[in-house]
Structures are given as C-alpha cells and as structure tokens.
C-alpha cells in the first residue's frame, strides 16, 4: 500500500443534496436518456453502472448542463431551490457545486503538475495567494505534492488521473463525479482510487463514480444505480454489480 501519510483536513462545509428529475435527452432522433430521476443525498457514495455506450457520460453532462436535455428539473439547497430557468447565476452556482472528471481530461503535457492544477484556478480568477494554498492542499489530498514540479509527460497513467482529480478538488465541490477511468483498474490502483474517494466522502463530499469495474463495485458495497433501456432499472443500497 501507499506509504505516504494521509493528512486530510476536516473542513466545515455545508453540503447540499441534489435531485434531478425527468432528464430526457436525445441526439437527433435517437433517445439517449428517458425520464431519468435521481435523488442524491448529501454525503452519499454512488456507483453508476451501465454498459459502455448506454448513456453514463450523457447523464453526467446533462447534470451539469453541458448538454441540454429537453426535459430537466434540478433541486438544490435541501429542496428549497428548484431550478428550471437555467439562468447564468444558477449555472455558475451549480457548476461550482458539482465537478466532473471526464475520461478525456485534458492535461497540459508540457507543463508541470503544479501549473496544471493552478491553471484550473487562474481561469476562474482566484487570487494568487488562494491558488498557492488550494493547489498544495489538493495535491496533498491525492498524494502528489511530492511530484508538483514534474512534467505531466513524466507521470504514470494513475498519477495523471490524480492530477485531474486535484484539478477538481481546488474548486471545493460539493459533489465530485468521476466518469469512468478507461479499462479496469489493477487491484492496487483500485484500492488507491477508493482510499482517495472514501476519504473525500468521509469529509462530507458526495461522490459519484461511473464505472464498469465489477470488482470495485462488489468489494466496496456502495449505493449502486444501474440502467437499462435508457432508464434506471435498479437502485440499491450496499449493492452489487448486477449487469
Ligand atoms: N455527441 C453525440 N452525438 C450523437 N450521439 C452520441 C453523442 N454522444 C453520445 N452519443 C450516443 O449516445 C449513447 C450514449 O453514449 P454515452 O453517454 O457516451 O455512453 P457511456 O458513457 O455509457 O459509454 C451512445 O449510443 C452514443 O453513441
Ligand atoms: Mg462514457
């Protein structure tokens, strides 16, 4: 196992639940999601399992309004906010709460680890002092502070994934979503992935992982949401991989 000490800080953050209702999405005349509703409680850890090509990425992109479903309701703030108008102020609030690590995370290969994570904050207009603090914290959370001055091209696949995770963490999201890593993870890496996400989850962050990794899902017994025919067909607490 990893020998670097995990020095997570307890953060006093209020995490809000999120409920999406009736997401319906089509690509041209082809339906990708039909009336999908999910109630996400604060602090939950959820595996979303679908076959490849079944719509996981489409759902995630719809949840952050990166795709525009034809039907869409979203509740935040303990149900007090129902957002249907998709105003600029809603979208900027929403996008700060929920952060996605996509499969095609684009790291700047010719830049260093630190610069890649800092860049994510610079484009959002954070102050230099905050950037320095947050970037170091986030790299520590993914056990990568010791490689902050390495170039991305010098990193392994799993180290690159962790840079992508750190880039999400600097925004202190309430919900973090990992859109499945390509291929199954080897057992050691899988354990490290889960150590990182479990720790974030223990701090109160809601974690959603889209995955087709049967071993991880069966081993860690989280809430499992599975889809079939563009709809949810099972949603189980402490669930198993059921495809
Ligand atoms: N931009 C797009 N235009 C048209 N069809 C798409 C697009 N993105 C995805 N699809 C189709 O929608 C379906 C769901 O894709 P996706 O959400 O990527 O699934 P998953 O993430 O589960 O592999 C697939 O049949 C895919 O070919
Ligand atoms: Mg996908």
Q: What is the pLDDT of residues 149-193, one digit of tens each?
A: 999 999 998 899 999 999 999 998 889 999 987 666 788 888 888
Instruction: Say if residues 200 and 207 touch (Cβ distance below 8 Å).
Output: yes
Question: Distance between CA 145 and CA 134 in Å, rounded?
Answer: 12
Ligand 1 pocket, CB under 6 A: 27, 32, 50, 52-58
Give residue 234 CA to ligand 1 midpoint distance, Å. 21
Ligand 1 atom with least separation from CA of 54: 22
Give residue 53 CA to ligand 2 midpoint distance, Å. 7
Whether 243 is covered by a domain: the verdict is no
How much is the pLDDT for 7? 39
Whether 48 is covered by a domain: the verdict is yes
How much is the pLDDT for 233? 85
Instruction: Say if residues 58 and 42 touch (Cβ distance below 8 Å).
Output: no
Question: Any idea which residue has 């979208």 for tokens?
Answer: 91
Determine the structural domain holding residue 227 and report its residue range: 18-235
Give percent of the chain above pLDDT 70: 81
How much is the pLDDT for 87? 64
What's the CATH number where 107 sits? 3.40.50.300
In terms of C-beta density within 10 A (0-12 exposed, 13-18 middle, 19 or more buried), how is residue 32 classed?
buried
pLDDT per residue as tens, the chain (243 positions)? 444 444 344 343 344 567 777 888 888 888 888 888 888 888 999 999 988 888 888 888 888 877 776 666 665 544 444 455 556 666 676 677 888 998 777 899 999 999 999 998 998 899 999 999 999 999 999 999 999 999 999 999 889 999 999 999 999 888 999 998 766 678 888 888 889 999 999 998 999 999 888 888 999 999 999 988 888 889 999 888 887
List all residues 6 or more positions away from 62 whose beta carbon is below 8 Å from its beta carbon.
20, 23, 25, 33, 68, 69, 72
| 3-class DSSP state of 207 | strand
How much is the pLDDT for 96? 73
How much is the pLDDT for 17? 61
Whether 124 is covered by a domain: the verdict is yes
In terms of C-beta density within 10 A (0-12 exposed, 13-18 middle, 19 or more buried), how is residue 92 classed?
exposed
Whether 241 is covered by a domain: the verdict is no
The total of structural domains in the chain comes to 1
How much is the pLDDT for 140? 96
Give residue 224 CA to ligand 1 midpoint distance, Å. 21
Q: 172-202 burial, b for 16+ CB within 10 Å, e for fewer?
A: bbbbbbbbbbeeebeeeebbbbbebbeebbe
Question: Distance between CA 159 and CA 170 in Å, rounded?
Answer: 17
Whether 114 is covered by a domain: the verdict is yes
Q: Nearest bound ligand to CA 179?
A: 2
Mutate to test the pocket of ligand 1, among 54, 63, 210 (most ligand atoms within 8 A of CB): 54
Ligand 1 atom with least separation from CA of 58: 17
Whose alpha carbon is nearest atom 1 of ligand 1? Answer: 27
Q: Is the dihedral of CA 231, 233, 236, 241 positive or negative?
A: negative
Give residue 35 CA to ligand 1 midpoint distance, Å. 17
Whether 55 is covered by a domain: the verdict is yes
Whether 9 is covered by a domain: the verdict is no
Residue 88: Cβ within 10 Å count = 7
Q: 119-133 burial, b for 16+ CB within 10 Å, e for fewer?
A: bbbeeeebeeeebee
How much is the pLDDT for 3? 42
Mutate to test the pocket of ligand 1, among 26, 30, 55 (most ligand atoms within 8 A of CB): 55
Whether 78 is covered by a domain: the verdict is yes
Give residue 50 CA to ligand 1 midpoint distance, Å. 12
């Amino acid at each position: 196992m990893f020998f670097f000490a995990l020095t997570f800080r307890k953060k006093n953050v209020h995490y809000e639940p999120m409920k999406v209702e009736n997401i319906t999405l089509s690509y041209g005349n082809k339906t990708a999601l039909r009336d999908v509703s999910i109630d996400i409680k604060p602090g939950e850890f959820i595996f979303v399992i679908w076959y490849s090509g079944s719509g996981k990425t489409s759902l995630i992109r719809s949840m952050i309004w990166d795709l525009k479903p034809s039907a869409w309701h979203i509740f935040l703030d303990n149900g007090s906010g129902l957002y249907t108008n998709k105003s600029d102020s809603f979208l900027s609030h929403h996008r700060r709460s929920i952060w996605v690590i996509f499969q095609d995370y684009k790291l700047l290969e010719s830049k260093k680890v630190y610069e890649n994570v800092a860049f994510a904050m610079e484009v959002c207009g954070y102050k230099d002092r905050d950037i320095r603090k947050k970037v170091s914290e986030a790299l520590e959370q993914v056990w990568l502070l010791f490689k902050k001055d390495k170039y991305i091209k010098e990193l392994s696949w799993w180290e690159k994934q962790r840079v992508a995770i750190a880039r999400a963490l600097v925004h202190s999201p309430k919900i973090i979503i990992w859109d499945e890593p390509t291929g199954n993870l080897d057992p050691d890496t899988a354990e490290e992935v889960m150590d990182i996400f479990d720790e974030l989850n223990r701090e109160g962050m809601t974690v959603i992982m889209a995955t087709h990794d049967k071993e991880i899902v069966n081993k860690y017994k989280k809430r499992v949401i599975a889809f079939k025919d563009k709809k949810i067909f099972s949603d189980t607490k402490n669930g198993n991989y059921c495809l």
